[in-house]
Amino acid sequence: MKETVRAYDRDAQAYAARTAAMPASVRADMEHLATQLGSGARVLEIGSGGGRDALLMEELGLVVRRTDVTPGFVALLRGAGHPCDLLDPLVDDLASPGGPYDAVWANASLLHVDRDDLPTVLTRIARVTRPGGLLRASFKEGDGEGWSTHGTISGPRHFTYWRAPDLEVVAAGAGWTDVVVRQGLEGDRGETWLELSAARDGVSA
């Protein structure tokens, strides 16, 4: 994870510029989430990156706690006038300030978490989500793990790839219910993505 963080840190501004456009699938998922939650709901964002998703969530009436493990992204967002916490979801305090949360949004961020650590991360996220709260997270589909250098990030980044059945088992074991993983969502490099939806305490996602 440290090498991946350094890679993002070196090219944070370039990455933010490249990912400024909102994919239609992400927008649709976020609009659906906002409808489910209602105006004023509190969302913990894991991996705010360049800040694109949080801006739309706020436009939709949600209250977002921005966080990222990469200092460069935190500095970028703070420089733009947005509070943002430097936070590693594996070890840092997720609850304060703002918890328990109505939802957790982790778009293309938990795919960097080691396979053995993801159950711990999802369990920690569940503990700071209110009963009936929702989770949205996205992962790259595939087998194993590996390093990749592509796009605007010049350094290598580590990715953990998942299959839908395995991801469903991990999420269910971490305290989430009504777990659904959508498959077959194609990215801009021909890769396929998995979108995880889940709820706390049996409330349908």
**CATH number of the CATH domain containing 174:** 3.40.50.150
**pLDDT of 104 above 60:** yes
Residue 103 burial (C-beta neighbours within 10 Å; 0-12, 13-18, 19+): buried
pLDDT of residue 187: 58
Pairing of strands 192-199, 129-140: antiparallel
Q: How many domains does the chain have?
A: 1
Q: Is residue 189 part of a domain?
A: yes
Q: Is residue 22 part of a domain?
A: yes
pLDDT-above-70 percentage for the chain: 95
| Four-residue CA torsion sign, 21, 87, 117, 12 | positive
The residue ranking higher by pLDDT, 190 or 37, is: 37
pLDDT of residue 202: 58
Q: Is residue 171 part of a domain?
A: yes
The residue ranking higher by pLDDT, 151 or 196, is: 196
- Selection from 17, 18, 15, 34 nearest residue 26 by Cα: 34
Q: Is residue 154 part of a domain?
A: yes
Q: What is the pLDDT of residues 23-56, one digit of tens each?
A: 998 999 999 999 999 999 999 999 999 999 999 9
The residue ranking higher by pLDDT, 37 or 202, is: 37
- pTM: predicted TM-score of the whole model, two decimal places: 0.94
Q: Is residue 119 part of a domain?
A: yes
For the chain, report the end-to-end CA distance as a whole number of angstroms.
30
Q: Is residue 204 part of a domain?
A: no
Average pLDDT, the chain: 93
Q: Is residue 38 part of a domain?
A: yes
Side chain identity at residue 106, one-letter code: A
Q: Is residue 114 part of a domain?
A: yes
Q: Where does the pLDDT of residue 204 fall: very low under 50, low under 70, confident under 90, or very high at 90 and above?
A: very low
**Range of 78's domain?**
2-199
